[in-house]
Structure 1
Amino acid sequence: MLSTGALRAHLLAARLAGPVATPRETSLRSYRLFAARDPRLLLGLDPDRVWGERDLLRLMADKCGVSDDPAHVSGPDVIDPERTLAALDAFAERLAGAARRRTPVLFGTGHPHRLIGFYAGLADALSAAGCLVLTPARGRGVDVMTRFGVRRYSLDYVRGVALVREPGVRAQGSAAGAHTHSPLPVRAVLEAAVEARGALPELVVGDHGWVCGAGQLGIEAIGLGDTDDPALFVGEEEGRVSVAVPLDDGVPSDHYGPIARYVLNRARLSR
């Protein structure tokens, strides 16, 4: 069993929290674009209020622990490990509640190379607890706006976790998916579930557009967010995202294993 102290040490050693690899310049650029309502940063969220850059900086300082000094414009950004631990406990509570109710759950990630293993472990545990882990729309095409224009992606699942694949990639069942912030994949999945008259998720677990896109549609959503992902934390502040966990979402995939074990233990889903 991983203690809170041991996980805190791991977060800092792996740079999941503390000084992280996300540059301050990248975070500030994201806040500027979110304030301008750039859809690439909204991730499917339609905020209720007007969020200026200073508002976002104060929010991210409160939610993540980044510096709230607008004059701090370069160097690594910082995530407070205590905020990460508190959010992980809340995240675990939501998973425990889903397990008790045996609710249908959807997992999806825009970071398949890094986070498939983390989400897959949670999906396995919820499935074993009696939850239906949903996998609709496998193979369905989704048009996603990228910096290269609109590109066609296809939906797939790896161990119960949804992702999108780039055109021409046929490695079905592998984690070789595309990095995306788009909310369109989760909308396509939900549309397919409705068309098939199948179960709809009562909880969505993931990151980026999977969380914000689902939360905007009124589905309970929990997920992970980096310092340059203000949409998740705005969504949490406005009540559309139930839990947003601040951590670096770009470290090597094996560093997320201890976090999964901690969450499952806190949710009493360890086997």
Structure 2
Amino acid sequence: MSSTTALRAHLVRARLAGVVATTREVSLRRYRLFAAGDPRALIGLDPELPWGQRELIELMAEKCGVSADPLCTFGHDVIDPELTLSALGAFADRLGAAARRGAAVLIGTGHPHRLLGFYAALADALSAAGCAVLTPAQGRCVDITTRFGLRTHHLDYVRQVALVRLPGPARPGCEPGAHTHSPLPVRVALDAAAAAGGPLPELVIGDHGWVCGAGQLGFEAMGLADTDDPAPFVGQAEGRVAVVVPLDDGARSVYYRPLIRYVLDRAGLSS
């Protein structure tokens, strides 16, 4: 069995692709928010084109494989595993190119409880290949609007992967960091890197606001996105995000390990 065949089977079995946990109702709500220009859905992107809900559904059907029928309003979303595999290949190719030229890279996540291990493995491999994995603005305060109001977070790095934490002691047994869609952390990190005289990243890797916020500022950016996050896919369609891999971004962290092996093998970064 080829590595691609095995990974395709894993994607469907782990529900990273195929029928995923994200519901159509949740996705449609986010599409409506994006179409209305709500910052919670734009996550740092300033679209150049008018994107109504119908156009977003068509885009997400093309890029993810969700239903293109606007009358489909309930049930679980579906991600075409072939689209996931194709995007993972493009992701790996850019990762390998960055490694070969020794590019400076910034990696950050709004899903530290799920995706920290995935990104940390990339950071380790890039460091071993001679890339500078940047960690600007360590400890800097970031005020982020949440459903509980404005909360001050702190920018932190775990295994060279940026994330934000709420103040207070870490809970034993839990991976660090808070879930966020905000583009503010990447803006703070990039501002700090520029203020220090560089280096600036040649590639930003991540999800949510990390990808959209960096892409909006003109940095090469790529990452992962679920079916209820249209912003990265719009950014890709408008040429500001290089690669977006469609998959369920809220699964158990262990389920992403086969993706790490596949990406590093294809990028030529396996140890």
Give the TM-score of the pair, scaled to structure 1.
Answer: 0.97
Q: What amino acid does structure 2 have at the position aligned with 1:114?
A: R
Counterpart secondary structure, 1:44: coil
> Against the structure 1 CA distance between its residues 195 and 215, is the aligned structure 2 distance closer, same or farther, given a 3 Å change threshold?
same
- Over residues 57-78 of structure 1, what are the superposed CA-to-partner deviations in whole Å (9 max), with x where a residue is unaligned? 0000000000011111111100
Q: What amino acid does structure 2 have at the position aligned with 1:8?
A: R
Which structure 2 residues correspond to residues 81-120 of structure 1 after superposition, within 5 A?
81-120=81-120
Are the equivalent residues in 2 in contact too, given 1:45–1:231 (CA < 8 A)?
yes
Shift in Å at residue 167 of structure 1? 2.3
Q: Which residue of 1 aligns with 2:80?
A: 80
Mapped to 1, the partners of 2:56 and 2:25 lie a distance apart of: 14
- Over residues 116-153 of structure 1, what are the superposed CA-to-partner deviations in whole Å (9 max), with x where a residue is unaligned? 00000011001101100001111100011111111100
Which structure 2 residues correspond to residues 131-210 of structure 1 after superposition, within 5 A?
131-169=131-169, 175-210=175-210
Are the equivalent residues in 1 in contact too, given 2:170–2:176 (CA < 8 A)?
no
Which structure 2 residues correspond to residues 1-271 of structure 1 after superposition, within 5 A?
3-169=3-169, 175-271=175-271
Q: What amino acid does structure 1 have at the position aligned with 2:248?
A: D
> Against the structure 1 CA distance between its residues 2 and 134, is the aligned structure 2 distance closer, same or farther, given a 3 Å change threshold?
farther
- Over residues 64-103 of structure 1, what are the superposed CA-to-partner deviations in whole Å (9 max), with x where a residue is unaligned? 0000111111111000000000000000011011011101
Counterpart secondary structure, 1:61: helix
Shift in Å at residue 170 of structure 1? 5.2
Mapped to 2, the partners of 1:129 and 1:248 lie a distance apart of: 29
Q: What amino acid does structure 2 have at the position aligned with 1:104?
A: A
Mapped to 2, the partners of 1:226 and 1:249 lie a distance apart of: 6
Mapped to 2, the partners of 1:23 and 1:198 lie a distance apart of: 42
> Against the structure 1 CA distance between its residues 197 and 243, is the aligned structure 2 distance closer, same or farther, given a 3 Å change threshold?
same
Are the equivalent residues in 2 in contact too, given 1:2–1:258 (CA < 8 A)?
no
Identical residues among aligned pairs (%):
70
Q: How many residues are matched?
A: 270
Q: What amino acid does structure 2 have at the position aligned with 1:76?
A: H
Shift in Å at residue 188 of structure 1? 0.4
Counterpart secondary structure, 1:59: helix
Are the equivalent residues in 2 in contact too, given 1:144–1:150 (CA < 8 A)?
yes
Q: What amino acid does structure 2 have at the position aligned with 1:216?
A: Q
- Specify every segment of 5 or more residues in structure 2 that has no aligned partner in the other structure, as ranges: none
Mapped to 2, the partners of 1:228 and 1:53 lie a distance apart of: 12
- Specify every segment of 5 or more residues in structure 1 that has no aligned partner in the other structure, as ranges: none
Are the equivalent residues in 2 in contact too, given 1:108–1:210 (CA < 8 A)?
yes
Shift in Å at residue 198 of structure 1? 2.7
> Against the structure 1 CA distance between its residues 2 and 260, is the aligned structure 2 distance closer, same or farther, given a 3 Å change threshold?
farther
- Over residues 239-267 of structure 1, what are the superposed CA-to-partner deviations in whole Å (9 max), with x where a residue is unaligned? 00000000000000000000011000011
Q: What amino acid does structure 1 have at the position aligned with 2:208?
A: H
Mapped to 2, the partners of 1:268 and 1:206 lie a distance apart of: 20
CA-atom RMSD in angstroms: 1.4
Mapped to 1, the partners of 2:106 and 2:55 lie a distance apart of: 32
Are the equivalent residues in 2 in contact too, given 1:109–1:208 (CA < 8 A)?
yes
Shift in Å at residue 2 of structure 1? 6.8
- Over residues 215-246 of structure 1, what are the superposed CA-to-partner deviations in whole Å (9 max), with x where a residue is unaligned? 00000000000000000000000000000000
- Over residues 153-194 of structure 1, what are the superposed CA-to-partner deviations in whole Å (9 max), with x where a residue is unaligned? 0000010100000122457xx832000000000000011111
Are the equivalent residues in 2 in contact too, given 1:158–1:175 (CA < 8 A)?
no
Give the TM-score of the pair, scaled to structure 2.
Answer: 0.97
Q: What amino acid does structure 2 have at the position aligned with 1:256?
A: Y
Mapped to 2, the partners of 1:135 and 1:43 lie a distance apart of: 21
